[in-house]
Amino acid sequence: MLKLNHHLLKLESRYLFSEVEKRVLLFQEKNRDAPLSNLGIGDITKPLAPSIAKALSEASIEMGTFLGMKGYGPAEGYLFLREKIKEHEYQNLGITSDEIFISDGAQSDMAQFQELFSLNSPIAIQDPTYPVYLDSNVMAGRTRKKTKNGKYGAVLYLPCREENGFLPSIPKEDAGLIYLCFPNNPTGVSFDKKYLQRWVDYAKERKALLLIDGAYAAYVRQKDFPKSIYEIEGADEVAVEFRTFSKSAGFTGLRCSYMVIPKKLVIEDLGQKHSIHKLWKRRQDAKFNGVAYPIQKAAEACFSNEGKKEIQEQIDSYLEGAKQLREGLKKIGLSCYGGIDSPYVWCKTPDKMASWDFFDLLLNRYQIISVPGEGFGTEGKGFVRFSGFARFESIERAIKGLYAYHHQR
Ligand code: PLP
């Protein structure tokens, strides 16, 4: 008889973004003409840069000719793209093109990577967190229960609170797989070199593995705040890095990402050393048939002079949105964080209001869409996330609305 994977039933039924969407739709049904300021958006709001769109269409036309036809590509991605990534993103960091794996999204990469490890491996996740790390581990059968003693197979939550600048403390317990996201979604803060060195040292000492979500690496601006974990000494022995073209070049609708797995990364199991690189390669060969050629050509175009300039302008503009939000919210007297090396601003709710209550108030009274912090984890209670992907006019209108709210309190 057919049986379900019961671990799926353990997932929180209220998936954050669908709940936000549901409440917004309900509001729109009742208020058809009200202009909404969408500051909750986690997606890009600008079209593909012209040189990237051109590369995409040229590659598609090329595939329609006998000379340019393409069948299956390599599971790890075409060398032309891996070479460009190495040259532009990992120059002087000792990463080689065969340590780079091209894929169709950081979300799926981060969800699937845990397959390489035993269900008994303890995992550590920031709280609040981008949801995929926890959900994928729960679906695989790891428990979502909090643990006081780093019990095996359990999730160890790393609280990111206002008093520690939203930086998770290094745990006393052993954590096998450690998910770290910088610049962080949702808190918008990034990590400096000194702090990251402590994580690398911890991972070496405890034989743990750091899984670095660098989806927003292109937004890092502050000196001493690294874009890549491999800027930290010894990281190539303990860290895998996940990057995507989604937020750096507007590929959310195209799908292209990459992972870096250094060959130095080995784990010891039953007295034998195993290469993580080899295991992932084997897994990909069995389960993945590569990313479409035109999409990889479009990704390659991000590294041309023209492409670099065009996408830089887009990132600068999203960062300008985040700056306007941060400054506007601060002027109103709301405490907020992030938004310097990230498009996200993490805002404390006024008067200790619950996140969903503040969300409802913003939506119903001021037509502002935010994302309730508690949807990202317990520690997100009392916060909402605003986003610099919003249009400037939405940001301006929202700040005006919030200003009125502040004066009515
Ligand atoms: N990681 C983080 C932290 C994100 O915020 C997102 C998207 O919002 C992703 C990964 C997903 O990236 P991709 O579009 O490559 O799947």
**244 by DSSP, 3-state: which?**
strand
What is the residue with the minimal CA distance to atom 12 of ligand 1?
A: 106
Give residue for tokens 């039933």.
9
Q: What is the pLDDT of residues 101-117, one digit of tens each?
A: 999 999 999 999 999 99
What pLDDT, on a 0 to 100 scale, did the predictor assign at position 174?
A: 87
For residue 252, give the ligand 1 atom closest to its CA.
14
Residue 345 bridge partners (DSSP)? 338, 386
Closest Cα partner for 60 from 319, 365, 295?
295
215 lines ligand 1 (CB under 6 A): yes
Rounded distance, CA 179 to CA 181, Å? 7
Rounded to the nearest angstrom, the distance between the alpha carbon of 307 and the centre of ligand 1 is: 21
Rounded to the nearest angstrom, the distance between the alpha carbon of 98 and the centre of ligand 1 is: 23
Q: Are 36 and 395 in contact (CB under 8 A)?
A: no
Q: Compare 1 and 83 and report the one with higher pLDDT.
A: 83
For the cut 90, the answer to whether the pLDDT of residue 18 exceeds it is: no
Rounded distance, CA 197 to CA 234, Å? 9
φ, ψ of residue 79 to 5 degrees: the values are: -60, -35
Closest Cα partner for 102 from 260, 307, 219, 229?
260
Instruction: Tell me the mean pLDDT in the region 209-218.
Output: 98
236 lines ligand 1 (CB under 6 A): no
Q: At what angle do helices 79-89 and 293-301 cross, to 10 degrees?
A: 20
Q: What is the pLDDT of residues 316-327, one digit of tens each?
A: 999 999 999 999
Q: Between vectors from CA 118 to CA 205 and to CA 130, what angle results, nearest 5°?
A: 80
For residue 43, give the ligand 1 atom closest to its CA.
8
Tell me the CA distances in angstroms from 23 to 18, 27, 278, one per residue in order.
9, 6, 46
295 lines ligand 1 (CB under 6 A): no
Rounded to the nearest angstrom, the distance between the alpha carbon of 6 and the centre of ligand 1 is: 26
What pLDDT, on a 0 to 100 scale, did the predictor assign at position 150?
A: 46
Structure tokens at 11: 């997932």
What pLDDT, on a 0 to 100 scale, did the predictor assign at position 321?
A: 96
For the cut 70, the answer to whether the pLDDT of residue 65 exceeds it is: yes
For the cut 80, the answer to whether the pLDDT of residue 405 exceeds it is: no
What pLDDT, on a 0 to 100 scale, did the predictor assign at position 225?
A: 96
What pLDDT, on a 0 to 100 scale, did the predictor assign at position 10?
A: 86
Rounded distance, CA 374 to CA 360, Å? 13
Rounded distance, CA 383 to CA 359, Å? 9
Q: What is the pLDDT of residues 222-279, one digit of tens each?
A: 998 999 999 999 999 999 999 999 999 999 999 999 999 999 999 999 899 999 999 9
Q: CA torsion sign, 80 to 82 to 88 to 92?
A: negative
On whether the pTM is more than 0.85, the answer is yes
For residue 257, give the ligand 1 atom closest to its CA.
15
What pLDDT, on a 0 to 100 scale, did the predictor assign at position 33?
A: 85
136 lines ligand 1 (CB under 6 A): no
What is the residue with the minimal CA distance to atom 1 of ligand 1?
A: 215
> Residue 359 — very low, low, confident or very high, per pLDDT cuts 50/70/90?
very high
What pLDDT, on a 0 to 100 scale, did the predictor assign at position 187?
A: 98
Q: What is the pLDDT of residues 118-175, one digit of tens each?
A: 988 889 999 999 999 999 999 998 876 655 554 445 789 999 999 999 999 999 988 9
What pLDDT, on a 0 to 100 scale, did the predictor assign at position 16?
A: 81
